[in-house]
Structure 1
């Protein structure tokens, strides 16, 4: 619904008006000095324009030219099993839906963590597909809906070539998507953060407030990812990709992290 409230800072859409945004009052995010402000999808459609660009082999970025909320972009994965939407952006209109349908539509949606839930329900209804969220983050859902399917445990096989992995970094339900096609790719949101030095990645509990992730969580994440093979890694931002040697970079980064931050 185009008039439901959306937090201007994180772009989370809520089912009804409220005074605060729990996502932003949490210590992993923030309420700006100017205070809590709200918008809605109708207003966003008037002030923002869609941006759709290639981000890597078989990956199309979807977002806006102007910064919206946290500023992340989603990824349309052109998988052999069918197009799949990874993460979400708040902007969606009829023209964008038509453009994506012309590419084959989408078969489902999965989101790395609550900071990117945004207008996920709008997307799910526009394409009549499920949203796969880890149950560890169910408390952060701002707009409950039957399209949301909660999963539990460490992994969820979506298709022969797509698998969700709950690493627990950043949020309890913090999840990445492994795409096994070709040399393999890991779509990480900022659960595994692409940083300016592309020889390493980062792990944080809070990025804006600079709170490091717990060493035990990073150690577990590295162990979970070790058996997977992926040459490339794609983060949450435009052009935030590591095209080669990503598996070793993730493992090397975890080792470095644990050398500096200990239990």
Structure 2
């Protein structure tokens, strides 16, 4: 749990609780497993990056920090520059988007990490795997999606548009 969201912990003082509050933007939990605080629909929203040594499938466990949409499962969604693969939502059930600066904050937190799979909060919908021969890798699709989302909100001059891999 992140320190900023510790107000939600309900058993902080229990002797059996082993609550570790994460403060740093990234924390190595185990070899090859890193907690990344991204922010999002709450300030302490985080993802887990898994890249154990000698693995061919570095992975992001995104929960609901970013949300894969149906078009992410197309055979090659990167062929069309207007196709969104991920959405950045404050509320998934109500489809309320996050503000552009928060979308940028999430991207900046994810940018240093390589990944070829994302596992989300709803497995059948939101688990996505990079496939050989696709036009864009998953990381590029996250950035492309961030740009599409921010542009759709009417912020065509936002800093996200200067971002590159």
TM-score norm. by structure 1 comes to 0.47
- Which structure features the higher share of helix residues? 2
TM-score norm. by structure 2 comes to 0.73
Q: CA deviation at 1:222?
A: 0.9
Count of residue pairs the alignment pairs up: 131
Q: CA deviation at 1:226?
A: 1.4
* SS of 1:156 mapped into structure 2: strand
For 2:93 and 2:103, how far apart are their aligned partners in 1?
19
- Which structure features the higher share of strand residues? 1
Indicate yes or no: 2:42 matched with 1:171: yes
For 2:9 and 2:98, how far apart are their aligned partners in 1?
22
Give unpaired runs (5+ residues) of structure 1. 1-132
Higher RCO, 1 or 2 (CA under 8 Å, sep at least 6)? 2
Render the CA deviation track for 1:101-155: whole Å, top value 9, x for unaligned: xxxxxxxxxxxxxxxxxxxxxxxxxxxxxxxx11121112234343111111211
Q: Over aligned residue pairs, what C-alpha RMSD do you find?
A: 1.6
Indicate the residue corresponding to 1:8 in structure 2: none
2:8 to 129, 136, 140: 140
Give unpaired runs (5+ residues) of structure 2. 78-84, 131-136, 159-165
Contact (CA 8 Å) 1:219, 1:258: kept in 2 or not?
no
Indicate the residue corresponding to 1:206 in structure 2: 91
Render the CA deviation track for 1:184-229: whole Å, top value 9, x for unaligned: 1100001111221214111111222332211101112112211210
After superposition, where does 1:111-122 map in structure 2 within 5 Å? Answer: none
Contact (CA 8 Å) 1:194, 1:201: kept in 2 or not?
yes
* SS of 1:178 mapped into structure 2: strand
For 2:109 and 2:123, how far apart are their aligned partners in 1?
26
* SS of 1:234 mapped into structure 2: strand
For 1:246 and 1:210, how far apart are their aligned partners in 2?
22
